[in-house]
Structure 1
Amino acid sequence: MTENEQHHIYEKWLGQHKALIFKIVRAYAFSAMDQDDLFQEIIIQIWHSIPSFRHEASVTTWLYRISLNTAIKWTRKERKYYHADNLDNVQHILQEHSIQMDERLIWLYEEIYKLDAIDRSITLLLLDGFSYKDIAGILGITESNVGVKINRIKKYLITKSKKHYYHGI
C-alpha cells in the first residue's frame, strides 16, 4: 500500500466515522486537553493500523476495536498520573461548551465514565446498536458475558437515574 493510498483511506474513514471516535473520546476523557490527547492517540493508531486491515470485519467494527483499545490503554496510562475519583473536579468543563447539551445526556456520559473500561465499552457499543455477538467479537469476551454485563449496567443506570432524577441527588 502506498502512502497516498493510506492517506486516502484515512481521510475517508475519518470523514465517515469521526462521530464514533468523538463518542469514545467523550466517554473516556472529560477535560478538553485530555479529549484532544486521546483523539490524537486514536487517530494515530488508526493511521498505523490501516495497512493491516484485512476486511474480516466491517470498517466500523474495526475502528471501534482500535478506538476502544486505544482509549482503554490511554486511560490506564493517564490514571497513573491523575487521580480524580469523581467528576466534581471537571464539571465546569462540561458546562463550558458553546453548544448547549441536554442535561440527561451529560448525566449519561458522567455515569458511563464511572464504569470500568469493559463496561464503558459495552455501553457505547450497545448504544450504537451493535449485537451481543458483535460486542463480544470486538471486546474478546463471550456473548453470554456481554448479556450478563449489559443487564448489570442497565440495573446500575436505572438505579442511579431514579436517585438522581427523583431525589435530586
Structure 2
Amino acid sequence: MQDETQKSLFMNWLDEHGSSVMKVARAYTLTSEESQDLAQEILLQAWQSLPKFEHKSSVATWFYRVALQTAMNWKRKDKPRRARQKPLLEVQTLVTEGCDSAEQAQQRDTVERLYQAIHQLPKADTALVLLYLDELSYREMADVLGISESNVGVKLNRAKKALNELMKGGSHGS
C-alpha cells in the first residue's frame, strides 16, 4: 500500500472510529495524561498494523481489536507504575441540556463510579463492557474478542452482575 493512500485511508477510518480509541484508553487508565498516552500508543499500533489489515472483519472491529490488545498489553506492562497512581479526579463533563447543577453533579459522580468499577473488573470483562457500552451487537463483540456469540452473552451477564455489585460498593477480584 502506498504511503499517501495508507495515510488517507487511516485518517478516514480515524474520523469514523476514533471515538472507540478514546473510550478504550479511558477505561484502561486512571489519569487523563495516561489516557492520552495510551490513545497515542493505540494509534501507533493501528498505523503499524494497517498494511496487515485483510478486510476479513469490519474496520470498526479491527480498530477495537487493535485498541483492546494494545490496552491490555499496556496494562500488563505498566502495572508497577500504575499501582502508585491516584484515580482520575476530574470527570469528563457531560453535556446535558435542561439539567440543573445538582443533576449534573450526580451524573458525573455516577460516571466516575462506573469507571472506577470498570477498572476493578478482569481485563477481558473490561473489554466486553466497553463494547457493550458502545452498543455493538453480540456478533460484533464476538468478532472483536474472538469468542462465540453465546459466550459473549454468558460473559456479559457475569460482567454486568459484577459491575452491579461494584457500583453498590462491593469488591470484585481481578
The TM-score normalised by the length of structure 2 is 0.81
Distance 1:135 1:112 in 2: 17
- Could you say what secondary structure the match of 2:113 adopts? helix
2:83 maps to 83
Distance 2:124 2:34 in 1: 20
Give unpaired runs (5+ residues) of structure 2. Answer: 95-106
Letter in 2 for 1:135: M
1:136 maps to 142
1:43 maps to 43
RMSD: 2.1
Letter in 2 for 1:50: L
Distance 2:17 2:139 in 1: 21
1:3 to 2:9 alignment = no
Distance 1:102 1:80 in 2: 29
Summarize the Cα distance change of 1:54–1:27 in structure 2 as closer, same or farther, 3 Å threshold. same
CA contact (8 A) 2:27 2:119 kept: yes
1:157 to 2:154 alignment = no
Distance 1:141 1:125 in 2: 13
Distance 2:80 2:164 in 1: 31
Letter in 1 for 2:60: T
The TM-score normalised by the length of structure 1 is 0.83
Letter in 1 for 2:153: G
1:17-166 superposed matches below 5 A: 17-84=17-84, 89-92=86-89, 94-95=90-91, 99=93, 102-163=108-169
Query: Could you tell me how far 1:17 is from its partner in structure 2?
Result: 1.6
- Could you say what secondary structure the match of 1:130 adopts? coil
Query: Could you tell me how far 1:57 is from its partner in structure 2?
Result: 1.1
Query: Could you tell me how far 1:139 is from its partner in structure 2?
Result: 1.2
Give unpaired runs (5+ residues) of structure 1. Answer: 165-169
Letter in 2 for 1:53: F
1:12 maps to 12
The structure where helix makes up a greater share of residues is 1
Distance 1:4 1:163 in 2: 51
Query: Could you tell me how far 1:163 is from its partner in structure 2?
Result: 4.4
Distance 1:107 1:3 in 2: 43
Sequence identity percentage: 38
**More moved, 124-133 vs 113-122:** 124-133
Distance 1:91 1:62 in 2: 28
* Paired residue total: 158
